[in-house]
A and B are shown apart, each in its own frame.
Chain A
Amino acid sequence: MNALNFEIPPGTAVAVALPDVLPAVKPRRGFIGLIRRYPTLAFGSAILLIMLFIAVFAPVLWTLDPTAIATSRRTREPSLLYWFGTDMLGRDIYSRVLYGARVSLIVGFAVATLASVVGLAIGLISGFVRMADSVIMRTMDGVMSIPPILLAVALMALTRGSIGNVIAAITIAEIPRVARLVRSVVLSLREQPYVDAAIAAGTRTPQIILKHILPNTLAPLIVQASYICASAMITEAILSFIGAGIPPATPSWGNIMAEGRALWQVKFYIVLFPAVFLSLTVLAVNLLGDGLRDMLDPRMAKSV
């Protein structure tokens, strides 16, 4: 018998009863779901992971000593023996390019981290301490009106070329942007009702900063940090390329291109390989940044 309690003539097609509750539309969770929703994020991280792998395992990836000079094998074209060819001093470019990933990644991550931390501190102080605000912001304006690459170049001229100095120089040039971003977020958060409520409830300022302001600055800060990482990698390469960066013997993509500069019209491969690796890595970081922005800050994603 059926539920309605009447006879169904034989031979009639009967629709299958619908379940009381339709199954919920389940967005795919976990790893694959994440890749589907944020393809740029996934693609960027994938390339970046490969670069990280290359950087860490450079010594075992069929490389030679990247600083070994051998005049007998100068400027060889790419071949089975020297995959990316050799430079003017006979150094193996494949090895130098792989080791060069280390410099780029270290500089990128170090600058992104340092600039974010210092910029965050400056931005928080500027947003909360009224007295300091105008002095800090005018200083930041001053630093920002020196084009970042020129500022880094000028700072590098003061010291000798080393990876630590390059990181410091680029960090100083990037700090104002972070500080401004954090300050603007802080100023808009301070107007939020929940912050008023916290103040009314007698919460102390450090608590407010730590519990209410800081967590909300993190999303835009992380997105900004990834863009800073990308631009730091480019700036490092530029500094090394014009001879104001990492010491020339150290394999870095900028240095390899600098060595290829004199010969680029005849030996284009010397500049080509580091150029491709550098561009790919920066692209990966930028895609990661775009993906993070879409994920963490949907409002911003819509407008840009």
Chain B
Amino acid sequence: MLLYVLKRLLTTIPVMAIVALFVFSLLYLAPGDPAAVIAGDQATTAEIEKIRQSLGLDRPFIIRFAEWGVQILHGDLGQSLFANMPVRTMISERLEPTLSLLVVTLVLAIFIAVPMGVIAAWKAGTFVDRAIMAFGVFGFSVPVFVTAYLLAYVFALRLDWLPVQGYTPISGGLLPWFANLVLPAIALGCVYIALIARTTRATMLEVLQQDYIRTARAKGLALPGILFVHALKNAAVPIVTVIGLGIALLIGGAVVTESVFAIPGLGRLTVDAILRRDYPVIQGVVLLFSFVFVLVNLAVDLVYTLVDPRIRY
């Protein structure tokens, strides 16, 4: 097992290196010359050239990439072009809202989607199944900002049940924190719920045909026990996989959801950075999210052994 973890960690290294190369190329190819910006309008070509040399911008791509890589490994993501602040500080300041949003969405989605899929599979072919599957298609089709605006309009503006916008830090109380996150989490989670529910239904359909399910029924076990313990355990691997892969959807969607609900998180930081062309910040955020995604998939592989003891490494 430990050997497998190490091996699996090693295989993520080339993937992360490619991500890093991609992200570095982004900065390398970015229009605009940092040296010219620093030198100012009055600078002569020679002065700009001097600054370029002092910054090391004249050296070959590979060497700059290697140096940048070493910097990244030390946790240094560079300096923002506009805020005059290290990118790392900017990211860590905005981390809590985004992390809260993602975690709440993840938990809500799993607790809604998995039972939905299980029930759809159990009631396969009936009205309940069709309704759940129809929701699945809609969840896939309605873009996250559309759901976000509709939810905000109905539940916050019209019914006034929940706050319209904004974010309360977790230190400001658990309830206000949660109240601010419910609508964004549901809006963001819609696609994700549809995805998980569809996969759950598909795998459960197969599992429910197995002999041991019939045996359990014949023994007279209670239905919820059969569905959620016997069957779900055996259907868990594809479900866990899709939960992991879907995190990419959540990360992309978070950027939009944060804009709609005015949540001061990494998504907002990204949008602001794009509008100002603050390349180091864009680079830092993309790099961070991609690494998180790679690690999530690693974690998913390891969770397999927990949910399905038949899988051994």
Contact = CB atoms under 8 A, between A and B. Distances in A.
A interface residue count range (under 10 / 10 to 19 / 20 to 34 / 35 or more) = 35 or more
Nearest to B199: A304
B86 interface: no
B255 A142 contact: no
Contact of A147 (B164, B248, B271): B248
Interface residues of B, number: 56
A157 B143 contact: no
Interface string A186-228: 0000000000000000000000000000000000000000000
Contacts of B279: 157
A50 to B, nearest CB: 16
21 contacts: A139-B18, A142-B21, A142-B22, A146-B286, A147-B252, A147-B290, A149-B253, A150-B252, A234-B143, A237-B145, A238-B144, A242-B271, A243-B271, A244-B274, A257-B145, A261-B260, A268-B157, A279-B143, A283-B138, A286-B141, A287-B137
Interface string B98-116: 0000000000000000000
Contacts of A234: 143
Interface string B268-280: 0011011101010
B299 to A, nearest CB: 13
A156 interface: yes
Interface string A241-264: 111100000000000010001001
Interface of A: 138-139, 141-143, 145-151, 153-158, 230, 234, 237-238, 241-244, 257, 261, 264-265, 268, 271-272, 275, 278-279, 282-283, 286-287, 290, 303-304
Contacts of B26: 154-155, 157-158
Nearest to A303: B202
A157 B282 contact: yes
Interface of chain A: mostly helix, strand, loop or mixed: helix
Interface of B: 14-19, 21-23, 26, 29-31, 137-138, 140-146, 149-150, 152-153, 157, 164, 198, 202, 206, 248-249, 251-253, 255-256, 259-260, 270-271, 273-275, 277, 279, 282-283, 285-286, 289-290, 293-294, 297
A238 B248 contact: no
B102 to A, nearest CB: 12
Nearest to B256: A238
A258 B149 CA distance: 12
A44 B17 CA distance: 42
A241 B18 contact: no
A142 B255 CA distance: 21
A290 B145 CA distance: 24
Top 9 A-B residue pairs of the complex, sorted by shortest distance between their CB atoms:
A142-B18, A149-B252, A283-B141, A275-B146, A147-B248, A147-B251, A282-B141, A146-B290, A279-B142
